[in-house]
Amino acid sequence: MLLIKNGRVIDPASGTDATLDVLVDGGKIARVGANLSGTGGAGSSGAETRGEMLDAAGLVVAPGFIDLHCHLREPGGEISETIETGTRAAARGGFTAVCCMPNTQPVNDRASVTRGIVERAAAAASVRVWPIGAASMGSKGEALAEIAAMKDAGIVAVSDDGKPVATARLMRQVMDYCRALELPVIDHCEDASLFAGGVMREGPRSMKLGLKGIPAESESICAGRDVELAALTGATLHIAHMSTRGALQSVRAAKKQGLRVTCEVAPHHFTLLDEDVRYDSNYKMNPPLASREDRDALVEGLADASVDAIATDHAPHHPASKDVEFDRAPFGITGFETAIGLTLGELVHAGKISLPRMVELFTTGPARVLGISRKIAVGEPADLTIFSTEHAWTFRAAETASKSRNTPFDERVFRGGPMATIVGGQVVWRREAAAKARS
């Protein structure tokens, strides 16, 4: 039994935003209300001796945050990350559930691989792991992956992330198939011929650095293709790590038409710009950092509900693979532990979005993409994210729980961040020093 006292409970599903106590019992939410005693629950007498209290005064208590997009690298990439280390980093970042992309080795394109991930997660993960299956075998863009079998084994969506679903024809087939299976199709939107070996966003900065540019249209052309196919098939389409105004316009138009089209934005894309890129591979990710115009459009979309979720695209890479020439480095940065801090700093404190809207982008937003519910209500699983909007702290890559340190946010000072992460009623991570210091 765990009693969370005096937190500001923000629950987008019910519209709650009030100072309340939350009582957790048996891994589920037992009561929500003012001045709960921990013994007060009807039929839960005698729990007091076993009860634990978490003082959440001054903190936000939200439904457990969901990350729709990460790479845990297991199986095959354990030098960079494992399900154990990745989910520990996720817990430190305030996430209670993470969706891991299928570009492992082997690719998660069949039930045996999915089961391996699910079993490993059951044994070693700090938070819930919801695998995403490949759309095509080996994500090669040819034959369909074993999607139905993977669904039985536990996948929550399909994607060939790391690259787009290769052809319009295959995408149509995947969408048709997944509509029947009621699985969302997540696409990494990119036109391969325009991408053409680029390493950062095409623009004045790529020109100055002499780095091969990727035009924004590489993403928006593919997003346009996907939206048209979503209209054709009636499938649920989710656009991953959206970084351009053009793709956002496609999503807006699709939503207006009533299509089941959603999208996510990664914290680095609303925090950094292409003009910040240096010859440092921690500034290399795909999609690349956007132009100021595109970034501003993304922030607008985050504010006006065109964007459904914030997702980290946590992409760990071992130091040896990133400490190379910029154009030879792999794409991607880690993201779990900095997501809440960046969202608070860049969006909430900056006055772009409200705190309840932020909670929505990490909870009901991603839940809607997956077709599930997310709320703080009696009987629901006690997955809760507790965070501070004010706590001052410094993120240090050397202290991360991830096996990798590829982040441009090393030594960044944050105002606000995760304080405790609760999964199934268990406190899987808690910022110790902070909890003591505060009073």
The residues carrying an active-site annotation are 313
Distance CA 71, CA 34 (A): 40
**Which range binds other proteins by CB under 8 A, 132-140, 179-187, 208-216, 406-414?**
208-216
410 lies in the site for other proteins, by CB under 8 A: no
Token representation of residue 169: 């024809």
Longest dimension (CA), the chain: 70
Question: Three-state SS for 380?
Answer: coil
Tell me how far, at minimum, the Cβ of 211 lies from other proteins, in Å.
5
Is residue 208 a contact point for other proteins (CB under 8 A)? yes
Q: Residue 320, interface with other proteins (CB under 8 A)?
A: yes
Q: Toward other proteins, which CB reaches closer, 137 or 194? A: 194
**17 near other proteins (CB under 8 A):** no
Task: Rule CB under 8 A: say whether 324 interacts with other proteins.
Answer: yes
Q: What angle do CA 401, 405, 409 make, to 5 degrees?
A: 100
Q: CB-wise, 211 or 265, nearer to other proteins? A: 211
Q: How far apart are alpha carbons 18 and 16 in whole angstroms? A: 6
The least CB distance from residue 212 to other proteins, in Å, is: 8
Question: Which of 207, 350, 372, 378 touches other proteins by CB under 8 A?
Answer: 207
Return the range that interacts with other proteins (CB under 8 A); candidates 161-169, 201-209, 301-309, 414-422. Answer: 201-209
Comparing CA positions, the residue from 386, 391, 362, 388 lying closest to residue 374 is 362
| Residue 211 interacts with other proteins (CB under 8 A): yes or no | yes
Stretch that binds other proteins, among 100-108, 229-237, 318-326, 373-381 (CB under 8 A): 318-326
Q: Please name the amino acid found at residue 407.
A: T
Task: Judge contact between 307 and 265, C-beta under 8 A.
Answer: yes
Element containing residue 369 per DSSP (H, E): helix 364-370
C-alpha–C-alpha distance, residues 207 and 188, integer Å: 25
CA dihedral 146, 138, 82, 428 (to 10 degrees): -40
Report the C-alpha gap between 197 and 286 in whole angstroms. Answer: 11
Provide, rounded to whole angstroms, the least separation between the CB of residue 324 and other proteins.
6
- Is 206 an interacting residue with respect to other proteins (CB under 8 A)? yes
Residues in contact with other proteins, total (CB under 8 A)?
20
Q: How far is the CB of 215 from other proteins (least distance, A)?
A: 10
**Closest to other proteins by CB, 323 or 399:** 323
Say which DSSP state 64 is in. P
203 is a site residue for other proteins (CB under 8 A): yes
> Which residue from 46, 210, 258, 379 is in contact with other proteins, where contact means CB under 8 A?
210
* 204: contact with other proteins by CB under 8 A: yes
Q: Which of 37, 50, 279, 390 binds other proteins (CB under 8 A)?
A: 279
Q: Given candidates 18, 57, 180, 196, which one binds other proteins under the rule CB under 8 A?
A: 196
Interface pick for other proteins out of 42, 123, 325, 398 (rule CB under 8 A)? 325
Q: Are 358 and 347 in contact (CB under 8 A)?
A: yes
Residue type, 98: V
Measured from the CB atom, is 153 or 211 closer to other proteins? 211
| Residue 314 and residue 86 in contact, taking contact as beta carbons nearer than 8 Å | yes
Is 88 in contact with 400 (CB distance < 8 Å)?
A: no
Q: For other proteins, give the closer residue by CB, 194 or 231.
A: 194
The tokens describing 408, both together, are: 């441009």
User: Torsion over CA of 419, 424, 426 and 428, rounded to 10 degrees?
Assistant: -50
DSSP helix/strand/coil, 425: coil
Provide the minimum distance between the beta carbon of 246 and other proteins in the complex, in angstroms, as a whole number: 18
Tell me the per-residue interface mask from 78 to 117 with other proteins, x by CB under 8 A, - otherwise: ----------------------------------------
- The footprint of other proteins on residues 326-345 (CB under 8 A) is 326-328
Residues with Cβ within 8 Å of 188's Cβ and at least 6 positions away in sequence, in order, are 159, 160, 161, 162, 163, 164, 240, 241
Between 61 and 272, whose beta carbon lies closer to other proteins?
272
Comparison of 52 and 323: residue with beta carbon closer to other proteins: 323
Q: Where are the beta strands (DSSP E) in 276-397?
A: 309-310, 384-394
Single-letter residue type at 344: L
Binding site for other proteins (CB under 8 A): 196-197, 202-204, 206-212, 279, 320, 323-328
